[in-house]
Chains A and B, each alone.
Chain A
């Protein structure tokens, strides 16, 4: 037992240090006066001014937020329909194929997804003339496609531990299946829809590889701009931007966790 008393705390402390030390140093060095970033030479908010004045970073961040919101919303609708079909419909032709197709993007390497969609868009343009060129539209289609898979998984797991008797009660009272879905099913699976949408939104914001393949001139997303900036070394503006993103996410997650922890206590 004596050995166990220090082994677990120590390894988890080291593990968490490994996860957080790089992020922490990134945040600290975003306030560095020296543009070399890694050598500390005094406190300064110059990087934040540079970020504000950067011609590419903020516009591309706005673009990424828009793409993420639209793609996540499309994925939410398609993923929910798909999950309903897979969990609720007993048997239909092509159910196994649909199940396999919707889970395939989860294991598909980004380079393949990106290349495949680009080649499709090029072929479609030369055959039916749509989509014209590559840009925001093609990125949205690409993101909605792989995000649908993630939304399906999230909604599927919520639907499979679901109390059917509520729906049956509504049906017995004469509600149509569509009515039951909107009045009973949807409110119950709402938390899964929220987390599915957030997951899709985050994945879209984070994607570099697929967007690089299917984007066109003038539609560079935030990860593409960041990648081109950090490829050759450190960039203080990126440090500043990362600090803002990390701060916002940390705040969101902490508030969410606290409300989650409060809830059972309030009930008791």
Chain B
């Protein structure tokens, strides 16, 4: 009988608070929702609206370096919108923006395919490993994630550069040094290297749940291991593959650090172009127009795709 009163007494205090709030039409639930909703509204949704607004301004010298959308002239408010930034993004004479979009998608897609080819056997091996090994192997996959991403890209650059570890190693066999740094190749390697753990983890979670009885049944029915893999394991692990592939593809497409530390001047990915537009050319309106274009062309399709994928996964449950 002690628990009843013990709870009842402090509850009375909250009751008073609740009644006072209720008088103003505020429920406890509303407060729980309001705090994160207000924060995200002000610091996530509102900024995107501001970006859209500034993408319709014009670059000018001064602080801030863009023209006002609203001006008052002789008592009348004028709204001046410039579409020039979008027109330039879509029809630049050298097509640098469209090419950057295309090469970002290409680089992200190719890297994702290679991450699948390298990561699948690893995830499979860990899921099939004896139980006492599994945790250690999993820890080895997660460990790089907790160390700095930037430092790992830097570590890779020490590996690939002209006088780096790989070239020193192949030099021992008399092989002339390879140029790997500042090429698209280095960017591919960098993306695979950085995001491989993100591919392995969801796939592992999927594979480890796979019922071994299904594999035994397949073997009992006379299927060879390869056939079992392609007709049982692979189809059942597809949700894991898709989830993992998204975790590689999505961050890769807007990547800035990897192309700027490992890529050459020819590696024009969209994240890097936007960065240069803002920091080097101080063209804030054009950078804003690029961000909005990126949002429409890349981010929104990805969000819709993820929603569809979640719906499929939840439908199966």
Q: Name A's B-contacting residues (CB within 8 A).
A: 1, 4, 7-9, 11-12, 15-16, 18-23, 25-26, 29, 36-39, 77-79, 81-82, 84-85, 89, 92, 94, 98, 100-105, 107-113, 115-117, 119-120, 122-123, 126, 141-142, 144-145, 148, 152, 170, 173-179, 202, 205-206, 208-209, 212-213, 223, 226-227, 230-231, 234, 238-239, 241-242, 245-246, 249-250, 252-254, 257, 260-261
Contacts and interface: CB of A to CB of B under 8 A. Distances in A.
Contacts of A202: 146
A110 B15 CA distance: 44
Given A15-B119, A19-B196, A109 B271 contact: yes
A245 B152 contact: no
Interface stretch (B74-82, B210-218, B230-238, B248-256): B248-256
A38 B124 CA distance: 35
A213 B139 CA distance: 34
A174 B159 contact: no
B120 to A, nearest CB: 9
Nearest to B37: A98
B299 A126 contact: no
A92 B250 CA distance: 30
Contacts of B119: 15
A94 to B, nearest CB: 7
Nearest to B287: A115
B143 A253 contact: yes
A159 to B, nearest CB: 13
Interface of B: 3-4, 7-8, 10-11, 14-15, 18, 28-29, 32-33, 35-37, 39-41, 43-48, 50-51, 54, 64, 118-119, 121-122, 124-126, 128, 135-137, 139-144, 146-152, 154-159, 161, 163-165, 168, 193, 196-197, 225, 250-251, 253-254, 256-257, 260-261, 271, 274-275, 278-279, 284, 287-288, 291, 294-295, 298-299, 302-303, 306
A26 B155 contact: yes
A227 B261 CA distance: 9
Contacts of A25: 155, 158-159, 165
Contact of B28 (A23, A36, A178): A178
A249 B3 contact: no
A26 B154 contact: yes
A103 B122 CA distance: 29
Contacts of B118: 11, 15, 18
Nearest to B6: A173
Contacts, number: 263
Contact of A173 (B4, B43, B44, B47): B4
Nearest to A39: B163
Given A145-B44, A179-B11, A253-B143, A38 B18 contact: no
A242 B148 contact: yes
A113 B50 CA distance: 12
B299 A109 contact: yes
B261 A110 contact: no
Nearest to B124: A8
Ordered nearest first, which 8 A-B pairs have the shortest CB separation?
Answer: A109-B254, A116-B47, A82-B36, A11-B121, A120-B47, A22-B155, A26-B155, A12-B125
A253 B142 contact: yes
A226 B291 contact: no
Given A15-B121, A112-B299, A98 B257 contact: no
A198 B291 CA distance: 30
B33 A89 contact: yes
Nearest to A92: B33
B147 A246 contact: yes
Given A15-B119, A260-B135, A107 B302 contact: yes
Nearest to B229: A4
Contacts of A173: 3-4, 7
Contact of A89 (B15, B29, B306): B29
